[in-house]
Chain A
Amino acid sequence: MNKKKKSVVFAFYIISTLIVIIWLIPFVIAAFTSVKSMDEIMASEYWWKPPEKVEFDNFKEAWTTGNMRTYFKNTFIVTIPSVLGALLLSTLSAFALAYYEFKFSKAILLVFVSGMLIPFQMLLIPVFRLSNTLNIYDTYQGVILFHIAFQLGFCTFFLRNFMKSIPVSLYESAKIDGAKDIVVYAKIALPLTLPAIAALGILEFTWIWNDYLWSLILLSSDEIKTITLGLVNLKGQYHASWNLIAAASLITAAVPLVVFLIFQKYFIEGLTVGAVKG
């Protein structure tokens, strides 16, 4: 079986190349548009053609006058604490559900899992109301706290599955040495779970970076809006400047794309462990 027929190999390369080219067309067209001048776009008969003259002014303009600079910074301010918070808290809950056997452990796990599957619309109004009551509407904390709380469902499920696969003997050896529970957590569970935490962190980072709905619900002032909201804003303001919007779209996409390209292994592992195991 190791030697595949030549015709099969040939077909593989033809079909794969074709699929990948089709899949990349939207990216390529966006990249073309982002470096064209508006005059060139209006004059051309086809909007998907390669640019005649390459200009990077659109990126500069989107970054400064389009305010993408601010949105970009804001998104980091929201995303990083959200990811770290969700990871930290979910290692605690995952440890409790993986290490201990107690009456409600399975029920609590299912509650965490089902929360991650429900339609977001079930939460919109009460979460909006809650952030008003807590006086955190239209603040970074408001969005960050929500992201942490909501992502706990998936993170707990994910890390619990991973911690369950750690051999019990490793835990027990520490217990026999008389280690306290918190030491078992910090010295054994946490270091052994590190690869899973990394994979999860990469996934969560792109998810929270790409979030649109929750920023829409929980933020209103322009100075603290995240990048997806900013992009939609920009489209409203410069709706005829396709080149500018294309540049802004690529700026928005850049961070998750780079993160994915660097940490692809973790990203894919995260997706598969999270979904197929459960």
Chain B
Amino acid sequence: MRVSKKRWWVPWAFLAVPLFMYILWVLAPIVQTLLMSFTKWDGMSSTSEFVGFANFTRLFQNKVFWTSLKNNLYWLILFVGIPVPFGLLIAMLFDMKLPGNKIYKTLFYLSMTLSFVVIAQIWSWIFEPRRGALTTFFQSLGIENLAQIQNGLAVFLLFIAIPVALGFFIGWLFNRKLEYRSTKKRWYVRLIALAVMLIASFIVYKITGFKVETSRMAERGFPWLSDPDFVTFSLILAAIWRQIPYVMVLYLAGLKNVPPELVEASIVDGANWGQRFFSVILPMLKPATIVAVTISVIDSLRAFDIVYAMTQGGPFNSSSVLANYMYIESFNNYRMGYGSSIAVIQFLITLGFIIVYLNNVVKTEG
């Protein structure tokens, strides 16, 4: 409703209290932190000293900062790379409206309702090095230590996952030029591209004698949370347990907007399973994907509770993330200005994704 000139104050009357509280506790603090990042303050004295960019230059020289940044990057990649595709697959599975799927969904959702602090506790038993469930599981597969897993994962990623993805991509590139050919021929092209990539990567693997460098600890047992090279991945695994159901909820809502007639029409037109998924369903899920990806990115940069409750960033800061590093510098070491500069870096990293999300809001609101 348009507001008449005489009654301009009416919406503001409704907004007054909420906006005031929001400014006081959220907006003003953002500005304060930005300003504080240029000062030196111990959190107690009444004055703070302006130091220009000194906090930032010190930050960039600090090893813990770079470790945290690297770990945040792992969090970001794995938090988008695993929950988004798996959330989508499981959403499609549970979207098959078969009897009993409500019970499955309910049970699957349960992990989403837990606090990260509880998740940290529950998973510390699973990560128990000698008698925990994860160790038993890998031992029953005949794997003797963490180093083998690290090596296996790296080999899988570098020599199988990436070549397969590349093979598909190259096959797709060729097929684009072969538009007029039959579906069968397209499959040949794809298979040949895949085979070539896999054979090439196998040869590279044999020649280089590839092996990941692992800690001595990892060669002796399963130090899930105490091996500096592996601890971050353990933490991410526990967090993903909660994130996949969440992404699945987003996709289930998105799937409701896919008209079944459209999928059926594509079947009538002779589309196979892959075509149906990639050219009919996936494009319809674009809005859900944008939200799932941006929310996962933002959540990954917010990771604090689970890191702090499980390892406090240890051992030797190897699992530290920016959020955790910022808290420890500000509230344990009383370097508030320095802490603020870490928060500002975090903010700058998130900013791009916040803009994507806001843009999405503006578009859907018209």
Contact with B along A67-97 (1 / 0, CB 8 A): 0000000000000000000000110110111
**Is B275 an interface residue when CB atoms closer than 8 A count as contact?**
no
Q: Are A16 and B113 in contact (CB under 8 A)?
A: no
* Measured CA separation A168–B358 after assembly (Å): 25
List chain A residues, Cβ under 8 A from B125: 29-30, 33, 47-48, 242, 246
**How long is the Cα–Cα vector from A229 to B114 in the complex, in angstroms?**
14
Contact flags B279-319 to A (C-beta < 8 A → 1, else 0): 00000000110010001001001101100110000000000
Chain B residues contacting A231 (CB-CB under 8 Å) are 117-118, 121
| A96, B15: Cβ atoms closer than 8 Å | yes
Q: Is A183 on the interface with B (CB-CB < 8 A)? A: no
Interface size class of A (residues with CB under 8 A): 35 or more
Q: Which of A108, A146, A249 contacts B121, CB < 8 Å?
A: A249
Q: Say whether B346 contacts A261, CB under 8 Å.
A: no
CA distance A128 to B295 in the complex (A): 26
A47 touches which one: B26, B117, B132, B357 (CB < 8 A)?
B132
Does more than half of chain A's interface fall in helix, strand or loop, or is it mixed? Answer: helix
Q: Do A271 and B354 have beta carbons less than 8 Å apart? A: no
Distance between Cα atoms of A242 and B121 in the complex (Å): 9
A46 to B139: give the CA distance in the assembly, Å. 12
Whether A46 lies near B250 (C-beta < 8 A) is: no
Stretch of A51-59, A191-199, A206-214 on the interface side: A206-214
- Give B68 Cβ to nearest chain A Cβ, in Å: 12
CB neighbours of A271 from chain B (8 A): 246, 249-250
Q: Mark B1-32, 1 if CB is under 8 A from A, else 0.
A: 11100001011101101110110111111101
Can you pick out 10 interface pairs between chain A and chain B where the beta carbons lie within 8 Å of each other?
A29-B122, A29-B133, A115-B26, A115-B27, A121-B343, A126-B36, A127-B29, A211-B115, A231-B117, A276-B287
Report the 3 A-B pairs with minimum CB-CB distance, sorted nearest first: A126-B29, A210-B115, A149-B25
A positions within 8 Å CB-CB of B: 1, 4, 8-9, 12-13, 15-17, 19-20, 23-27, 29-30, 33, 44-48, 89-90, 92-93, 95-97, 99-102, 105-106, 108-115, 117-130, 145-146, 148-150, 152-153, 156-157, 164, 168, 171-172, 175, 181, 185, 206, 209-213, 217, 228, 231-232, 235, 242, 245-246, 248-249, 252-253, 256-257, 259-261, 264, 267-268, 271-272, 275-278
